[in-house]
A and B are shown apart, each in its own frame.
Chain A
Amino acid sequence: MFYREAGDFKTTYAEDNQTFPIKFDRYRYYAVMLFAFAVVPFVIDSYWLNAVFLPFLIYAIAAIGLNILVGYCGQVSLGTGGFMAVGAYAVYKLMTSFPDVSMIIHVLLAGVITAIVGVLFGLPSLRIKGFYLAVATLAAQFYLVWLFNRVPWFYNYSASGQISAPERFVFGVPITGANTASWATYLFCLVFVVFCAVIARNLTRGTVGRKWMAIRDMDIAAEIIGVDPLRAKLSAFAVSSFFVGISGALFFAVYLGAAEVGESFGITKSFLVLFMVIIGGLGSIFGSFAGAAFLVLLPVFLKNVLVGSLGWPTDIAAHLEFMIVGALIIIFLIAEPHGIAQLWRVAKEKLRLWPFPH
Chain B
Amino acid sequence: MARQVRVWPVAVAFVAAIALEVVPLPDFLQPVRPPLPVMVLIYWAMMWPERFGLGIAFIVGICLDILHGQLLGQNALAFCVVTYLTLRFHLQIRIFPLWQLTMTVFALMAVGAFLQLLIEGIAGLAPAGLARWSRVLSGTLVWPLLLGVMDRLRMQVEHRESTFI
A and B pair up: no
Q: Which of B's residues lie within 8 Å of A, judged by CB?
A: none
